[in-house]
Structure 1
């Protein structure tokens, strides 16, 4: 699972975006936001793109622009597509493991009542450890740590 730890999720996201269509770095930064909480780290995106290119997973070309400076456009290679396919298969396994964890986390715990609610010191049943809907909240600092 180390390859897809949150800090390593940027590269598969970039490969996916390039599978959708070729793009330049700044365009990828904008399109990345719904997939990856990188806080608009353009420098990190460009570093990742250079690493992907060194690994033969993407290639780039310079294109002149009539309205500004030339831009480097990135393209997914066949090796990049194969790598992305492998990453997606691995993510399916990770998703299943995370789903199992979250279901067990939300379910009855050791020392809990039969309905999965924990009894507090007064004998009252409370599920205060879970938000509405029975799903654990992802702390803000953890979400922003996904890179």
Structure 2
């Protein structure tokens, strides 16, 4: 009987020790590293150009013959040059420019997480700090030559 009680007491002590498991780590979300709002992060426009041109499917925009994207961190301006074929409707050109600006904004947001990505009704926050100068040509003829300053609205829908 005494042996049974001692065994039962040891079993209860063992169970109580097993139930008190230590916690390893914190149960909250980790802090993400973010740059200070005033810290300058230079945008790599060569990378943006590569990413955007890769994501703009030629099957979706077969009327675009050539597309170049560059930019300048000092002037905060993105330069876009696109050459198109003849007989492109204004609607098709608007859809192309809309998608192009979304892709540029999203590529910039990948490089600097302080910029928000584009949504259905906005081009994100990249164009609040950077402007765009885009030139659309058809052969030697300039179809559009537009400069949109930082924070201004685009002449096409977002």
Higher strand share: 2
Q: If each structure's helix is expressed as a fraction of its own residues, which one has the higher value?
A: 1
Q: Relative contact order (alpha carbons < 8 A, sep ≥ 6): 1 or 2 greater?
A: 1
Q: Same fold (TM over 0.5)?
A: no
Coarse TM-score class (shorter-chain normalised): under 0.3
